[in-house]
Amino acid sequence: MGSPAPGPPALRRSAARPNPYAPPPPGSVRALFPALAEGPEVYLDSASTTQKPRPVIEAVHRYHSSRTANAGRGTYRWATGLTTRIAEVRAHTAEFLGAAHADEIVFASGATAALNAVALSWGLANLADGDEILYNPRDHAANVHPWFHLRDLLARFGRRITLIPYATTALGEADTADILAKTTPHTRLLTASHLHHVYGGLTTLEELRGRLDPGVLVCLDCSQSGGHLPVDVTALGADFAVFAAHKMFGAPGTGILFCRRAIHDRLLPFLPGGNSGVTLTDAGLVPGKMPELLEGGTHNIPGILALGAALEVLESFGLDEIAEHDRVLTRRLIDGLRDAPGLEFLPGPAYAPCATGHGIVSFTLAGISAADLGFVLGEAGFLVRTGLHCAPGADPDPDSVRVSTHLYTTLDEIDRFTDCVTTIAEEVT
């Protein structure tokens, strides 16, 4: 592999934003994640959810144990302080993701809710009979099912849209040539995974720049890339982009929807009710401003505060450093598994002509089902995901084992894992 692979990068302070949290001792990145100290297990399921650092845990605990209040509902200091802090987290999130304006950031209950918000607030308002959406049937169900739900809802009111599937390459990326071939004058939306949750292929759609009609909106599911590598939604040319906070060191129940300001006037309210930015008149509901338009109800306040803490932690490490760490681990994993008898990689970085990788690798092993292999690995202390991984249209993909890493994963853990898989492979083949 050439020069020795580096271990986890040391904590550092961001030059742009001072880190208010005390870093662990040098070389002790894992000390920031309490759950990793509870036992000998090796956690290799970060694509499902990441471990939580102490500042995130403390942010949630602090909200529930000190000056608990509702934001945007009162003029006393507890409430106004939370209102101010949520505004700060929103602005920080916009900066972190490369959004031009804070009002382009919507807080949702998760990436699934964010994608449904796009389907219902934009799709219901803008799609007409005969319009088309390009989607990848191998993507996560959260980026497939909402479009089918939208199609069926519109059909009830006499508007018939068509969902056009496009292919995935052997590298686990969206096939941009197939996308171009299937784009028509009726195409209104292209939706894709930025980093695929099963294959680990990175799709930037760069090959399509200047070749798509400007009227085709782009929606990116960044659930796996957020917190793992630098993401700039403006540079990506996204009109919509969604993120899952719990996959980027944050708490479950919080999602991020980026919605480009230029299309705000095309949106209907999502979850209208309290704090939803609409006005009730004799003529009906009048949409208000963003982001309140898509944020009806009480915010997940501890989740948003935890997101703010998570962003600070991620910046203290550096996204470039995290991405490089995942790349090194991915290559070590692939190299360690490549000679295991009967092992076959799913599409992804194992087939890449260069040493790429983003912390996700999936494979099958002849002679044993993915579920049984996952159980055996779990008994040996290696925690991985098995199955179809929420990919509803993954046929002909079989059930597989998915390994996913993050900053707290070590080279030693990868080596022990590959040794274990190789031993099992030799016994079952």
Residue 264 main-chain phi, psi, to 5 deg: -60, -35
Q: For 407-414, what is the mean pLDDT?
A: 96
Q: Which residues are catalytic?
A: 390
350 and 424 belong to one structural domain: yes
Tell me the β-bridge partners of 372: none
Q: Are residue 393 and residue 422 in the same domain, yes or no?
A: yes
Q: Residue 185 belongs to a domain with what CATH number?
A: 3.40.640.10
| 257 and 132 housed in the same domain | yes
**Can you say how many angstroms the Cα of residue 17 is from the centroid of all Cα atoms in its chain?**
23
Q: What percent of the chain has pLDDT over 70?
A: 92
Among residues 295, 313, 331, the one where a domain terminates is: 313
The reply to whether 184 and 323 lie within a common domain is: no
Q: What does the pLDDT average to over 407-415?
A: 96
Residue 145 dihedral angles phi and psi, to the nearest 5°: -60, -40
Examine residue 252 and state whether it is found in any structural domain, yes or no: yes
Q: What is the pLDDT of residues 128-144, one digit of tens each?
A: 999 999 999 999 999 99
Other beta carbons less than 10 A from residue 239's beta carbon: 21
If asked whether residues 196 and 275 sit together in one domain, one would say yes
pLDDT digits 0-9 by tens, 29-38: 888 999 998 8
Which of 313, 330, 352 is the C-terminal boundary of a domain? 313
Structure tokens at 79: 């409430």
- Residue 108: predicted pLDDT: 96
Sequence-distant (6+) residues with CB within 8 A of 166 are 134, 135, 136, 174, 175, 178, 179, 182
The average pLDDT across 94-122 equals 97
Domain count, the chain: 2
CA dihedral 237, 122, 113, 278 (to 10 degrees): 120
Tell me, what's the pLDDT at 39?
Answer: 79
Lowest-pLDDT choice from 53-67, 71-85, 321-335, 379-393 = 379-393
pLDDT on residue 396: 67
Res 20: pLDDT: 39
Contact of 323 with 358, CB cutoff 8 Å: yes
CB 343 within 8 A of CB 394: no
pLDDT of residue 394: 57
> Model's pTM, two decimal places?
0.90
Q: How confident is the model at residue 25 (pLDDT cuts 50, 70, 90)?
A: very low
Last residue of a domain, one of 257, 278, 313: 313
Are residues 189 and 233 located together in one domain of the fold?
A: yes
Tokens for 388?
Answer: 């179809």
Q: What is the pLDDT of residues 264-305, one digit of tens each?
A: 999 998 887 777 677 777 777 777 789 999 998 889 999 999
Shared domain check, 307 and 356: no
Q: Which two tokens stand for residue 291?
A: 């982001």
Q: Do 303 and 332 fall within a single domain?
A: no
The answer on pLDDT for 11 being more than 80 is no
Provide the pLDDT confidence category of residue 2 given band limits of 50, 70 and 90. Answer: very low
Whether omega before 18 lies within 30 degrees of 0, making that bond cis, reads no
3-state secondary structure of 283: coil
What contacts 242, CB < 8 A, 6 or more positions away?
Answer: 108, 111, 114, 115, 118, 219, 220, 221, 222, 223, 255, 256, 257, 258
DSSP of 68-100: ---TTS-SSHHHHHHHHHHHHHHHHHHHHHT-S
pLDDT attached to residue 6: 41
Q: Is the pLDDT of residue 72 over 90?
A: no
Q: What is the CA radius of gyration of the chain?
A: 22
**DSSP 3-state of 193:** strand
Report the distance separating Cα 226 and Cα 203, nearest Å: 13
Domain span holding position 89: 64-313
Q: Smallest Cα–Cα separation from 343: which of 414, 398, 302, 299?
A: 398
Q: Looking at the predicted structure, is the pLDDT value of residue 206 above 50?
A: yes
Q: What is the pLDDT of residue 390?
A: 76
Q: Judge if 375 and 272 occupy the same domain.
A: no
The whole-angstrom distance between residue 59's C-alpha and the CA centroid of its chain comes to: 21
34-38, 343-347, 414-418: which range is least confident on average? 34-38
Encode pLDDT of 148-187 as tens digits. Answer: 999 999 999 999 999 999 999 999 999 999 999 999 999 9
Q: Please report, for the domain that includes residue 392, its CATH number.
A: 3.90.1150.10
Instruction: Give the pLDDT mean for 206-225.
Output: 95
Are 253 and 398 found together in one domain?
A: no
Residue 420 CA to residue 413 CA, distance in Å, equals 11
Pair (107, 131) in one structural domain? yes
